[in-house]
Structure 1
Amino acid sequence: MNPFIRSLHPYPFQKLAELLEGLTPNPEKPLIRLTIGEPQHESPQCVLDKLADSLKSGVNKYPNTKGELPLRKAIAEWTKHRFHLDSIDPETQVLPVTGTREALFAITQTLVGEKSNTLVVSPNPFYQIYEGAGILAGAELYYLPCGPETRYQINYQDISDDVWQRCEVLFVCSPSNPSGTVTTLDDYAYLLEKAREFDFTIVADECYSEIYFDNKPPLGLLEACQQLGNTSYDHCLIFQSLSKRSNLPGLRSGFVAGDANILKPFLLYRTYQGCSMPIHHQEASVVAWQDEEHVEKNRDIYTRKFTSVLEILTPIMKVSKPEAGFYLWPELDIDDETFCTELYKQESVLVLPGSYLGRQINDYNPGSKHVRMALVAEESQCVEAAQRIRHFITNNQHLMTKYQ
C-alpha cells in the first residue's frame, strides 16, 4: 500500500459526521444544511436538452483525453472574453477536465518531484484536495495563514526565499474558499516574479469566479498575466468548472488553461490516468460555455440571498458579504465545534466548523472560531436558516460568555 495514504487527514465532512454522532437535531424543525458547497439552483435547460440529444451518439465512442475541438474552442472563446485576453490557443493552452477536483489532484502528481525536499504551498484554510494531492505526491505541505488579522488575505511577501526555492506548486484559490476574498493584481505580480525566479507553477483554483456581486467580476490569473505582459502565461494555470457557474456539479466538467509547456506533459499524464470527459458531456459543456444568460440569472439569485441573509445576521454576528463565491465565513465568539453542535441540536441548522478547513500551525488554526455557511439552497430556506441562527445567538448569550 502507498505509505503516504496513512498521512491523509480525515475529510471535513467525515469529521463533521463524527462530531454529530449520537446527537439529534430539533425534531420540531426541518433540518437545513448549509455545509456542502453543492449548488441547488436549477441547471440550465439548454444544457440538459443538449445532453439528452447527445446521448444518441455520444456513448458508443471512446472520448479523446484532449477533448474534442469544438469544446476546446468554446472554452478558449469564453476565456478570452471573460478575462480580456488577446489570445489563447485551443490546441495547446486549453485542456478539458472532468471537474476541477480530479484535475487539481492530477496536476500535482504531474508537477511534483523534480526538486529535492519539495514543497506544495497552500492557503490555510483551504480546499482539502490541495493538501491530499501534495501528500500523495510525496511533498511537504507549507501553509499560508489567511485569518481575520489580515482580513483573510495572504501576505505573500512574508514568505522567505528558502520556501520559494523548494516550492513546485503554489495553490491560489481566488475567489477563496471559504472567505470569498480575491487575489489582487499586485499579489499576482509578486507571485509571477517569484515563479520565474524559482521555477514553480501557480495553480489558480477559480471555480467560484462567476458568482460575484455589483457587476464586479473578480480578477483571474490569466487576466493578470495579460495585464503584466506575460502573454504566454508562463508558470501559470487556471482551473475552471461548470459546477458553480452553471449549477452542473454532476456533469463533472471543467478545464485547465495556461502555460502550454505545462499542459503538454499534463496531457500525457492524463492519457495514462484515464479520465477523459464523455462525448455527450463535452457537447453539453459547449452549450454551457457559450451561454451567459443562465449565469447572470444565477448571480441575481445569489445576490438576493446574500442581501436577505445578511440583513438578518449582521446585527448579531461578525459577518460580511464576500467579494465573490457563495459562502459566508462569520467569526464567532465561541468555539466553532460548540457553535455547530448546539445550533444543530437547538435549531436544526447544520454548518461546518471552520477549524476543519484549516491546519494548526504554531498553535494557530486560522479557521478556528469560524463556521462556513454555503448559501446554496433556495432563498426561503437560507432566510429561514438565518432567522434560526439569529434566534440561537440571541437565546444563548450564556454560551457565548462560557466559551470565550
Structure 2
Amino acid sequence: MNPDLERLHPYPFEKLKTLFSGLPASDKSPIALSIGEPKHPSPDFVQQVLKDNTHRLSNYPTTAGIAELSEAIGQWLTRRFHLKQVDAASQVLPVNGTREALFAFTQAVIDRQRHPLVLMPNPFYQIYEGATLLAGGEPMYLPCTDSTGLQPDFDAVSEDTWTRTQLLFICTPGNPTGATLSKAQLKALIQLADKYDFVIASDECYSEIYRDKPPTGLLEACAEMGRHDYRRCVVFHSLSKRSNLPGLRSGFAAGDSEVLKRFLRYRTYHGCAMPIHHQLASIAAWNDEAHVEQNRALYREKFDAVLDILGGPLKVSAPAAGFYLWPKTPISDEDFAKRLQAEQNVTVLPGRYLSRTVNGKNPGEKRIRMALVAPLEECIEGAQRIKALLDTL
C-alpha cells in the first residue's frame, strides 16, 4: 500500500463521531449545523433537464466534456468576473465537483522529486492537505486569525519558503471563516507566483453566497492586470453551493490553458468524465441567475435571525460570504460541541478539527463551525438551544 496513506488525518466527521461516542440519547429532535451540505431545494428546471436527457446514459462522455458546457461556463465567468475574454476550449475544464478536482489537480501539478512545499490556509478544507501528502508534497499551514483578517498573512512567508513553493491553495471566501481576499491581495499573490514560479489554485466554491458585495475572483484580478492568459492561475467553482446541486457533482476548473492541458491529460487517465445528462443540466444552471439570487436571500434571512439570537451571548459576526459562522466559544471547542450535543442535540464542528497545530498554536481552538444550511425554523431553534447552553456556562 502507498505509505503516504498512513499520513492522512481522520476526516473531521470521523473525529466528531469519536468525540460523541457514548453520549446518552437526547429526547430533543436533532439539529445538524455541522455539515456544509446545502438543504435548499434544487432548481426544478435543472431536475427537468436531467429527466429529459436520461437517454444520454447510453453515451460515453468525454473527459473534456461537450463544447456547449465549456462555452456556458466561459460566458458565466465573463459576466460574473468582468473578464474581457475566456477561451472556453482551452481555459475551461468541467469537473465532477471541486473536491475531486482539487485532489486530482494537486497530483498533476506537484513534482515530488523537488521536495515541494504546498501552502494552504489554516484552518482549511482537508482535501488540500490529503492531496498534498499523496502527491509527495509537504503541507505548510498559514494561520488565519483575527489579527490577519481570518486569511493568511502572506507578507509573513519567508523568501526561502516561497522559493520551495510549487502550489498555493487559497480559499476565498474561506471555509470555515467566510473571509475574502481583496483584489490587491490577489494581485500581490499573482506577482509572487511569477517571481517564484508556482501555481495558484483558488477555491471559490462559496463565491455566490454573499450578503452585499460579490467577492473578487482570482481571474478577475488577472484580467485587471492585463493577464488574459491567466498564467499560473486556476480557479475552481461548483454548482453544489451556488445552485443547491451537491448531488450533481458538477463544477469546473478554469485559467491557465497550459496547466489545464496537462491536467486534462491526467484526468483522461484518471477516468473522471461527467455524464452527459449532468452536463446538460449544468448548462441550464450556469445560464440562470434568478435561482441564485433567491438562494442568497434565504441565507441572508437565516444569518439575520441567528445573529439576532446569538450576537450578544456569543462572540460571532456575519461573514463576508459563505454559509458558515465561525464563533469563539467560552470553553474548549471540543467540550462546547460535546455539551451542546448531549444537552441540546445540536451538532456543530469543533474548530480544531479543521486546523493543524503549528508551533504550539491551533487557530481553530475555542471556535466552532456552524453551517446554516438547515431550514430557517430549524436554524432559529438551533440558535435558541445554543443560547440555552451558553446561559449555563
Alignment of 1:334-345 (within 5 A): 334-345=331-342
Rounded Cα–Cα distance in structure 1 between residues aligned with 2:9 and 2:391: 35
Rounded Cα–Cα distance in structure 1 between residues aligned with 2:109 and 2:183: 25
Output the amino acid matched with 1:42: P
**Out of 195, 204, 207, which is 2:205 matched to?**
207
Aligned to 1:245: 242
**Deviates further, 320-329 or 162-171:** 162-171
Rounded Cα–Cα distance in structure 2 between residues aligned with 1:90 and 1:276: 17
**Deviates further, 351-360 or 115-124:** 115-124
Aligned to 2:47: 48
Is the contact made by 1:96 and 1:253 (CA closer than 8 Å) also made in structure 2? yes
**Out of 57, 64, 68, which is 1:70 matched to?**
68
Alignment of 1:338-377 (within 5 A): 338-377=335-374
Q: Give how far 1:86 is off.
A: 0.3
Alignment of 1:193-272 (within 5 A): 193-214=191-212, 216-272=213-269
2:103 is aligned with 1:121: no
2:296 is aligned with 1:299: yes
Rounded Cα–Cα distance in structure 1 between residues aligned with 2:48 and 2:104: 31
Secondary structure of the residue aligned to 1:257 is strand
Is the contact made by 2:32 and 2:346 (CA closer than 8 Å) also made in structure 1? yes
Output the amino acid matched with 2:15: K
Alignment of 1:73-152 (within 5 A): 73-113=71-111, 116-152=114-150
Aligned to 2:380: 383
1:8-55 CA-partner distances (Å, limit 9, x unpaired)? 00100000001101113521x101000000000000000000011010
Secondary structure of the residue aligned to 1:59 is helix
Is the contact made by 2:98 and 2:252 (CA closer than 8 Å) also made in structure 1? yes
Rounded Cα–Cα distance in structure 1 between residues aligned with 2:86 and 2:372: 34
Rounded Cα–Cα distance in structure 2 between residues aligned with 1:217 and 1:268: 33
Rounded Cα–Cα distance in structure 1 between residues aligned with 2:76 and 2:25: 44
Is the contact made by 1:65 and 1:271 (CA closer than 8 Å) also made in structure 2? yes
Output the amino acid matched with 2:71: K
Q: Give how far 1:114 is off.
A: 6.1
Unaligned segments of structure 1, at least 5 residues: 397-404
1:254-303 CA-partner distances (Å, limit 9, x unpaired)? 00000001000000000000000000100000000001110000000000
Rounded Cα–Cα distance in structure 2 between residues aligned with 1:155 and 1:354: 19
Aligned to 2:36: 37
Rounded Cα–Cα distance in structure 2 between residues aligned with 1:40 and 1:268: 35
Q: Give how far 1:115 is off.
A: 6.0
Secondary structure of the residue aligned to 2:90 is coil
Residue 193 and residue 114 in structure 1: after superposition, are their counterparts in 2 closer, same or farther (change >3 A)?
A: farther
The percentage of aligned residue pairs carrying the same residue is 53
Is the contact made by 2:352 and 2:363 (CA closer than 8 Å) also made in structure 1? yes
Aligned to 1:402: none
**Deviates further, 110-119 or 330-339:** 110-119
Is the contact made by 1:124 and 1:144 (CA closer than 8 Å) also made in structure 2? yes
CA RMSD between the two structures: 0.8
Rounded Cα–Cα distance in structure 1 between residues aligned with 2:173 and 2:113: 29
Rounded Cα–Cα distance in structure 1 between residues aligned with 2:269 and 2:115: 26
Unaligned segments of structure 2, at least 5 residues: none
Q: Give how far 1:148 is off.
A: 2.3
Aligned to 1:26: 26
Give the aligned length.
393
Q: Give how far 1:104 is off.
A: 0.1
Rounded Cα–Cα distance in structure 2 between residues aligned with 1:120 and 1:303: 35
Q: TM-score, normalised by structure 1?
A: 0.96
Rounded Cα–Cα distance in structure 2 between residues aligned with 1:33 and 1:114: 40
Is the contact made by 2:235 and 2:255 (CA closer than 8 Å) also made in structure 1? yes
Rounded Cα–Cα distance in structure 2 between residues aligned with 1:155 and 1:147: 9
Rounded Cα–Cα distance in structure 2 between residues aligned with 1:252 and 1:151: 31
Q: Give how far 1:394 is off.
A: 0.8
Rounded Cα–Cα distance in structure 1 between residues aligned with 2:71 and 2:174: 28
Output the amino acid matched with 1:251: L
Secondary structure of the residue aligned to 1:92 is helix
Is the contact made by 1:178 and 1:328 (CA closer than 8 Å) also made in structure 2? yes
